[in-house]
Structure 1
Amino acid sequence: MNHRRNVSLGFTEGTVPAGTHICQIFNDDDERNDVLVRFILSGLRASERVTCFSERANAAELETVFTAHDLSYAQLTASEAFSLAPTSKVYFEGGQFDPERMLERLACFYDEGVAQGYVGSRILGEMIPEVHELPGGSRLFEYEARISLLLQRLPLTAVCQYDARSFDGATILDVLRVHPMMLVRGSVVHNPFFIPPEVFLA
């Protein structure tokens, strides 16, 4: 993380180093949506490339938000500065959860952004409980730990959203174990439950 630029997340005061891996465990949709919108807008204002994987984010609603902030949803999506796709379409391609494919997708997203001249890249991904029902779903937390390893190499800022109403307590604890930073009451703080990926994956 040395010598990386600091970035604003939009939903909290202060900045974090590019490449920070953050989890948000939310309890209501307004809380989830507020972070999603602020994170996206902050990245676009900073001339970063932004992508969002969410089952609940609505393109029409985001277009209205963009317009209110003097941003063209049509132009940003056409140029691929911003992209939006359902969680199920991205994470569960081919009816399975494949960590290798997803990690390659994230790395390609970052590399393409560099090639296209963006100052940085960021991703917001909301996981949904259906992951546990699919082949490969048991590797979810291996994947999250490997994201932390990937971000040691690539300064791709990532926020992972989990709905506390949809996952049991044991799963939420595992979520905490694989994210070095967490969002608590509007502040990004070091996660005391975090297990370094080198240890978690051993």
Structure 2
Amino acid sequence: MHICGFFDSREQQYEVIIPYIMEGLNANDKVINILESSRHGEHCRCLADNGISIAEKLSSGQLEVLASENTYINGGKFAADKMYDMLENTLLSASRGGYESVRACGDMVWALKNLPGTDELLDYEAKLNLLTPKHSCSLICMYDVSSFSESTLKDVLLTHPYVIKDGKISKNELYVEPSALLSSLSDLQSGSLDS
């Protein structure tokens, strides 16, 4: 599953992702969180406050907390193909490591920095829908609705078969199949990402 999570506060975000992470850890899934390194301490405290034994899960490798700076925007730029390959390799590695499934959530705030390659965001999001059917995984792309423009959020919706809004997950009626979207992506009036 490839899910777009729309949140209007950090509290609302954690109300959704804490149960998602805990359920994954309890089911022996590999759990990956990607967010800016400046938030790692706060994030791990929040997980610990909800009963997750952070040190144990991190040391076993079942839980990974990665930095946006080392993943999405490694080297100060976004490269959709590199990020796609990194994610696919992570999914393959998790499978070889004995995990039946992977749960990942990534905070998309990095896309607001307008770094080189950010214009490949929709291409990347669309291509993830070619990746997810090949692996047992669920991916939540977390968007702060108060930070991104309405046009960007509308475009992002096109690339996710499921959406979380107001804390509830539902099938996204606006979703466009990746082959159709990728072939017409250059014609989309996506506007520019906010800074």
Please tell me whether the aligned partners of residues 63 and 72 of structure 1 are also in contact (alpha carbons under 8 angstroms). no
- Which secondary structure does the structure 2 equivalent of 1:193 belong to? coil
Q: Counterpart in 2 of 1:124?
A: 105
Alignment of 1:38-53 (within 5 A): 38-53=19-34
Deviation for aligned residue 1:87:
2.1
2:44 is equivalent to residue 62 of structure 1: yes
Of 134-143 and 47-56, deviating more is 47-56
Deviation for aligned residue 1:85:
2.0
Q: Counterpart in 2 of 1:32?
A: 13
Shift in alpha-carbon separation, 1:109–1:54, aligned structure 2, 3 A: same
2:166 is equivalent to residue 185 of structure 1: yes
Amino acid at match of 2:156: V
The whole-number CA distance in structure 1 between the counterparts of 2:146 and 2:55 is 34
Q: Counterpart in 2 of 1:102?
A: 83
Of 32-41 and 190-199, deviating more is 32-41
Of 131-140 and 58-67, deviating more is 58-67
Alignment of 1:3-42 (within 5 A): 20-42=1-23
Query: What is the alpha-carbon root mean square deviation over aligned residues?
Result: 1.9
Amino acid at match of 1:182: V
The whole-number CA distance in structure 2 between the counterparts of 1:131 and 1:103 is 19
5+ residue gaps, structure 2, are: 184-195
Q: Can you list the C-alpha shifts for 1:13-66, whole angstroms capped at 9, x where unaligned?
A: xxxxxxx11111111110012222222111101100000012374435535643
Q: Counterpart in 2 of 1:114?
A: 95
2:163 is equivalent to residue 174 of structure 1: no
The whole-number CA distance in structure 2 between the counterparts of 1:120 and 1:199 is 28
Deviation for aligned residue 1:83:
0.8
5+ residue gaps, structure 1, are: 1-19
The count of corresponding residues between Structure 1 and Structure 2 is 182
Please tell me whether the aligned partners of residues 2 and 162 of structure 2 are also in contact (alpha carbons under 8 angstroms). yes
Q: Can you list the C-alpha shifts for 1:125-149, whole angstroms capped at 9, x where unaligned?
A: 1101545511111010100000011
Match of 1:85 among 66, 86, 111: 66
Shift in alpha-carbon separation, 1:190–1:97, aligned structure 2, 3 A: same
The whole-number CA distance in structure 2 between the counterparts of 1:63 and 1:183 is 24
Structure 1 ranges of 4+ moved more than 3 A: 56-61, 63-68, 129-132
Q: Counterpart in 2 of 1:149?
A: 130
The TM-score, its normalising length taken from structure 1, stands at 0.83
Q: Counterpart in 1 of 2:57?
A: 76
- Which secondary structure does the structure 1 equivalent of 2:146 belong to? coil
